[in-house]
């Protein structure tokens, strides 16, 4: 297959591109900056929101759309606007580009997040569970709606990648967790009862390629391991694997003072399970949090 990847030079995109190339696919990377392609891609094309269409999807069989401003950082109004603007209008631009290229892709895999479910306590969340409320849930709803236009208007196969916290070398979460815990500053956040949907980078990549290569797969998929952990379990297991101790628990108000609205990402509970992925026959390499963390150390 000829596969385009927006955000293809980012954390997940690079890992997906490398593995796709290893499996014999041809990879075309899209970036906002013109540049030469990495060794695993055949071409690098530009994603330019000032142009119409914003990207050239000619000759592609599928597009994996991962581009988006990082949600990490202090959520000022301007940051929140960038988080939205880099997702909804850019996804609309991807669908417009699909419309504009008759020889373009008929398959769209679009990033989304388990944040789509909002704050849900102990409720088990499958892809059949209605979406929730809150800033990230609202962004995900509009993001997925924009992607679904490709199905409604073009009859394309659309897959929505509702991803949890991705654990891998070089990504946002694991290097930060490792550093904090190595300094013995890792601590339970809030009451620690909130569920954390997580996935090892190998499964994030394996599952994205499984969804790409399996024509029957469409609609939303939770990209999270079969066994989510609570924040308290996560804290204890990381400390145990790294052979360190934990700091005194950080109360929710402290997190909010420190991180502002971004604290919702670590304080809200999403007990997401990958029901659709398991039903589709995907076998996880890393199902248990402790083993997944140990594999990264
Ligand atoms: N990593 C996770 O734990 C996680 C969890 C849930 C969901 N996701 C979602 O999965 C996708 C990929 O995540 P990632 O961790 O690989 O992200 P990443 O490393 O930050 O890469 C995202 C890429 O998007 C492009 N980008 C950044 N800001 C942009 C903007 N304002 N407008 C347009 N493009 C922009 C950049 O590519 P160029 O500079 O080359 O244009 C960047 O390399 C994101 O949409 C993210 O929300 C990730």
For residue range 80-122, list pLDDT tens digits in order. 999 999 999 999 999 999 999 999 999 999 999 999 999 999 9
> What is each CA distance from 218 to 65, 186, 199, 264, in whole angstroms?
15, 38, 20, 29
pLDDT tens for each residue of 133-171? 999 999 999 999 999 999 999 999 999 999 999 999 988
CA of 246 to the centre of ligand 1 (A): 31
Q: What is d(CA 19, CA 252) in angstroms, rounded to the nearest whole number?
A: 39
- Res. 189: pLDDT tops 90: yes
Mean pLDDT of the chain: 96
Q: Is the CB of 95 under 6 A from ligand 1?
A: no
- In the chain, where the domains are located: 2-167+199-225+272-285
Q: Is the CB of 242 under 6 A from ligand 1?
A: no
Q: What is d(CA 282, CA 285) in angstroms, rounded to the nearest whole number?
A: 10
Average pLDDT over residues 48-67: 97
Q: Is the CB of 93 under 6 A from ligand 1?
A: no
Q: Which of 8, 10, 211, 270 to mutate to test the pocket of ligand 1 (most atoms within 8 A of CB)?
A: 10
CA of 129 to the centre of ligand 1 (A): 25
CA of 183 to the centre of ligand 1 (A): 28
Output DSSP code: residue 116.
G
Tell me the three state secondary structure of residue 5.
strand
CA of 240 to the centre of ligand 1 (A): 31
Record the pTM: 0.97
Query: Which residues fall within 8 angstroms of residue 27, CB to CB, at 6 or more apart?
Result: 3, 4, 5, 8, 17, 20, 21, 40, 41, 42
For 225-260, give the secondary structure using H, E and C. CCCCEEHHHHHHHHHHHHCCCCCCCECHHHHHHHHH
CATH class of domain segment(s) 2-167+199-225+272-285: alpha beta
Q: Which of 66, 80, 208, 228 to mutate to test the pocket of ligand 1 (most atoms within 8 A of CB)?
A: 66
Q: What is d(CA 82, CA 115) in angstroms, rounded to the nearest whole number?
A: 17
Q: Is the CB of 31 under 6 A from ligand 1?
A: yes
pLDDT value of position 254: 87
97 neighbors 53 (Cβ within 8 angstroms): yes
pLDDT tens for each residue of 242-283? 999 999 999 898 888 888 888 888 999 999 999 999 999 999
- Please tell me the residue having the least CA distance from ligand 1 atom 37: 7
Q: Is the CB of 177 under 6 A from ligand 1?
A: no
CA of 70 to the centre of ligand 1 (A): 6
Q: H helices then E strands: how many in the chain?
A: 11, 13
Average pLDDT over residues 168-196: 93
CA of 167 to the centre of ligand 1 (A): 15
pLDDT class for 172, splitting at 50, 70, 90? confident
Q: Is the CB of 111 under 6 A from ligand 1?
A: yes
- Please tell me the residue having the least CA distance from ligand 1 atom 48: 163
pLDDT value of position 259: 87
Q: What is d(CA 183, CA 186) in angstroms, rounded to the nearest whole number?
A: 8
């Amino acid at each position: 297959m000829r596969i385009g990847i927006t955000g293809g030079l980012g954390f997940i995109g690079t890992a997906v591109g490398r593995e796709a190339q290893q499996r014999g696919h041809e990879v075309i990377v899209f970036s906002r900056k013109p540049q030469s392609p990495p060794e695993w891609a055949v071409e690098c094309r530009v994603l330019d929101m000032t142009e119409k269409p914003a990207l050239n999807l000619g000759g592609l069989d599928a597009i994996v759309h991962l581009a988006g401003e990082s949600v990490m950082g202090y959520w000022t109004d301007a940051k929140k606007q960038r988080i939205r603007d880099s997702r909804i209008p850019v996804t609309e631009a991807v669908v417009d580009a699909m419309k504009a290229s008759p020889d373009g892709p008929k398959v769209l895999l679009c990033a989304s997040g388990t944040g789509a479910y909002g704050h849900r306590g102990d409720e088990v969340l499958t892809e059949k569970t209605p979406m929730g409320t809150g800033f990230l849930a609202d962004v995900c709803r509009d993001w997925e709606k924009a992607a679904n236009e490709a199905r409604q208007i073009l009859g394309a196969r659309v897959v929505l990648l509702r991803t949890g916290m991705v654990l891998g070398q070089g990504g946002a979460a694991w290097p930060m967790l490792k550093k904090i815990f190595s300094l013995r500053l890792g601590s339970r956040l809030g009451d620690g009862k909130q569920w954390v949907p997580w996935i090892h980078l190998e499964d994030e990549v394996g599952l994205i390629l499984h969804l790409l290569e399996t024509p029957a797969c469409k609609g939303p998929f939770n990209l999270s391991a079969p066994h989510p952990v609570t924040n308290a379990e996560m804290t204890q297991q990381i400390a145990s694997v790294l052979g360190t101790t934990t700091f005194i628990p950080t109360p929710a108000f402290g997190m909010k003072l420190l991180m502002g609205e971004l604290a919702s990402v670590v304080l809200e509970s999403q007990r997401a399970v990958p029901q659709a992925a398991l039903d589709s026959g995907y076998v996880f390499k890393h199902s248990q949090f402790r083993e997944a963390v140990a594999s990264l150390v």
